[in-house]
Structure 1
Amino acid sequence: MGEVHLCFGDLNHEALWHARDTGPVVEIAQKVVQAWPRGRTLDYLHLPLATGTRPAVPNARALLPLTRLRGLSGNTRLVAGLVHEDQHLDMQRVTLRLVEVALGRRVDVAASCGLGHRSPAAAERSLRTAAALAYAHT
């Protein structure tokens, strides 16, 4: 089983770096896909689209580099790390739609980083948001 979780870091709920668009994420993800060993399955690839304090912005231009992600198996699940406890659900729904249009496929959703860095209340809000996004997405 092969799983890759890309992340911008989360020290005291602050990312180590903030990208203006998804270009750097795509560049790193593309390197992972190209270097993935033959004969091994890449089950999922997590793409961080939000950071600790900054929700993903539903901006088609910022998400446009996602169109350059190539070489993934149709069996590889892409996970959009866009769930953020401090952003309205409707904004996250728009972002999810834009991500899927850019990638040309459906994606799963998750937080940008693990929930262990969140307070229990924030983690619960993130989980509720993720469930709402996934439920409306089926």
Structure 2
Amino acid sequence: MRGVSTFPFKTEITKELPNMEGLLPSRPMQIGNDVWIGRRATIMPGVTVGDGAVIGTGSIVTKDVKPYEVVAGNPAKHIRFRFPREQIDQLLAIRWWEWSDQKIQTEQPSFHGPVGNFIERHLGQVSGCSSVGHSATAD
């Protein structure tokens, strides 16, 4: 929107096809795994949404969303994290979204219980990982 007018002269008067360059930033957005995006939410260009995040219905997301963070509003603001920091780190280490469809189907009942039980059951299967998280993701 760098022109003198916002009126679409090219399409309305001269019937030219519009040049989309410069209308919106060309930075791609990145959406993580297992993200829930509410109806009519808008995620702006260049925003990264972390794994396991939740974006409330109708939210306008203008800033990055951390893994397992819940945001809502216009502009979207931090509401809470879905889990404590240690559990977030452990879930990110497990990376269950990279499992085969067969393994997910077999393990499906464990997805519906307490997150602590899921972590206990699966964290030991992650090579080189203990019950202590590997990085700080939630502030």
Q: TM-score, normalising length from structure 1?
A: 0.23
Q: TM-score, normalising length from structure 2?
A: 0.23
Higher relative contact order (CA 8 A, sep 6+): 1
Higher helix share: 1
